[in-house]
């Protein structure tokens, strides 16, 4: 029998005197109060013993009578012992809180016929599977870290109980049942106006680290056609990135998503490490922590166009100079004479100047008109005329004509 670092419970069975030795090696695993108790320090013998393990008090109770002695010193011949029979050994925290039961090592080598049974309990109900070590055997039983608030060790024929090497932690980690939630939407793209083809990086922040499967999507309010943007990166962090590229026709005075439900898993998942599905509700568009509130990003994906080219005023057909007024769908920049072509049918002239390089409308001045027929101007394709966002303007050739009848000498 071991002579140090052991707990011994000497008892005498009411019938018979066979000695059974129970060696328990119990492993519990909990959050942050690790301990190793080898019972090498003394304690007063009795039917209950309190030990402080990992900052918590554990109570070892011997029911049905009997005393516990320390370190094998009082096993034999101590008249102070109560040698009545034991029915069970129980192990609990004094405050009744739970811990994790990992394993137990039983030495039942002295038993003739009786097995030793071990069962974990939680709130008075058995948890896990009852396990036992047969008579004459030595065995380690694994309980796979089940959550318990009581361990019961029982036998039909206890004669002596030896407890040793109780290892683990005293506090069970609380279960994580709180799902992650969205705390805000932002962008790392600078405030400003963005045109067709410009990339914009959007970021959805969560209350904790999230793990992503599949391709979640974020739906943006972009005018006539709302754009659905795919998830790009961020799994394993608390911020997910969605990359949006401005498309033709997109428009927003202050970019935001459509609604509070605009973030969708799209058949994938967004969860925390504990497996809780994230709450995907977004701040209301325009409200605090929304994209619109956090950033001032203007989307101009609508290209400018010419709405009309008309004769300016009422020039006579015999005039050698006149002007065409070019009206645009929105303010444009970089207008110059080389953006236009004079088209003559029996008449010719020269594009001499433009009245302005920017604006909603400009006059294109024509001089040196000769001939008899008509003239008009077309807007060329691939010019450097752009709107304020930088969107290019397409060509235009549906302008009005001016009749020319210049007398010849």
pLDDT by residue (tens digit) across 3-16?
Answer: 334 444 443 332 22
* Average pLDDT of the residues of the chain: 83
- Please tell me the chain's helix, strand, coil percentages from 3-state DSSP, rounded to the nearest 5: 0, 50, 45
CATH 2.60.40 residue ranges for the chain: 182-300, 306-405
Q: Where, residue-wise, is CATH 2.60.120 in the chain? A: 7-169
pLDDT value for 344: 97
Pick the CATH number of 306-405 from 2.40.128, 3.30.200, 1.10.3210, 2.60.40: 2.60.40
Per-residue model confidence as pLDDT tens digits over 196-218: 999 999 999 999 999 999 999 99
pLDDT score of 252 more than 80: yes
pTM: 0.58
Output the six-digit token pair for 305: 């166009």
CATH number for the 182-300 domain, one of 3.30.70, 3.40.630, 2.60.40, 2.40.170? 2.60.40
Q: According to the model, what pLDDT value does residue 49 have?
A: 76
| For range 117-121, the mean pLDDT | 91
Residue with tokens 């990086």: 201
CA gap 402, 316 in Å, rounded: 9
**Displacement of CA 101 from its chain's centroid (Å):** 32
Q: Which CATH class is domain 7-169?
A: mainly beta
Segment among 10-24, 137-151, 171-185 with least mean pLDDT: 10-24
pLDDT at 60: 79
Quick one: average pLDDT of 243-261? Answer: 98
DSSP string, 278-313: PB-PPPPTTSTTSHHHH--EEEE-----EEEEEE-S
pLDDT at 174: 63
In the block, tokens 């970089």 appear at: 334
**Pick the residue with more confidence: 341 or 174?**
341
């Amino acid at each position: 029998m071991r002579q140090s670092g052991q707990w011994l419970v000497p008892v005498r069975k009411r019938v018979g005197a066979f000695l059974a030795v129970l060696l328990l090696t119990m492993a519990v695993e909990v959050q942050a109060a690790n301990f190793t108790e080898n019972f090498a320090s003394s304690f007063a013998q009795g039917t209950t013993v309190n030990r402080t393990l990992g900052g918590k008090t554990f109570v070892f109770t011997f029911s049905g009578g009997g005393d516990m002695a320390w370190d094998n010193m009082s096993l034999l011949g101590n008249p102070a012992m109560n040698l009545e029979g034991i029915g069970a050994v129980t192990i609990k925290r004094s405050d009744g809180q739970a811990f994790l039961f990992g394993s137990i090592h039983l030495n039942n080598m002295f038993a003739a016929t009786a097995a030793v049974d071990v069962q974990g309990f939680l709130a008075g109900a058995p948890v896990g599977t009852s396990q036992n070590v047969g008579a004459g055997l030595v065995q380690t039983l694994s309980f796979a870290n089940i959550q318990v608030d009581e361990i019961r060790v029982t036998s039909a024929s206890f004669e002596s109980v030896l407890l040793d090497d109780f290892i683990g932690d005293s506090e069970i980690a609380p279960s994580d049942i709180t799902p992650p939630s969205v705390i805000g939407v932002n962008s790392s793209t600078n405030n400003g106006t963005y045109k067709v083809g410009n990339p914009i990086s959007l970021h959805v922040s969560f209350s904790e680290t999230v793990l992503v499967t599949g391709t979640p999507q974020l739906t943006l309010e972009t005018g006539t056609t709302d754009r659905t943007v795919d998830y790009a990166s961020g799994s394993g962090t608390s911020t997910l990135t969605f990359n949006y590229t401005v498309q033709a026709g997109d428009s927003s005075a202050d970019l935001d998503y459509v609604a509070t439900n605009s973030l969708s898993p799209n058949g994938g998942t967004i969860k925390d490490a504990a497996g809780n599905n994230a709450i995907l509700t977004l701040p209301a568009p325009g409200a605090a922590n929304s994209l619109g509130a956090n950033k001032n990003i203007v989307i101009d994906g609508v290209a400018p166009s010419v709405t009309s080219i008309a004769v300016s005023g009422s020039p006579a057909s015999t005039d050698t100079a006149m002007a065409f007024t070019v009206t645009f769908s929105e303010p444009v920049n970089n207008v110059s004479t080389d953006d236009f072509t004079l088209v003559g049918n029996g008449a010719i002239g020269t594009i001499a100047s433009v009245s302005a390089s920017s604006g909603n409308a400009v006059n294109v001045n024509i001089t040196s008109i000769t001939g008899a027929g008509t003239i008009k101007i077309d807007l060329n394709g691939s010019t450097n005329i752009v709107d304020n966002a930088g969107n290019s303007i397409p060509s235009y050739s549906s302008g009005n004509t001016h009749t020319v009848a210049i007398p010849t000498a």
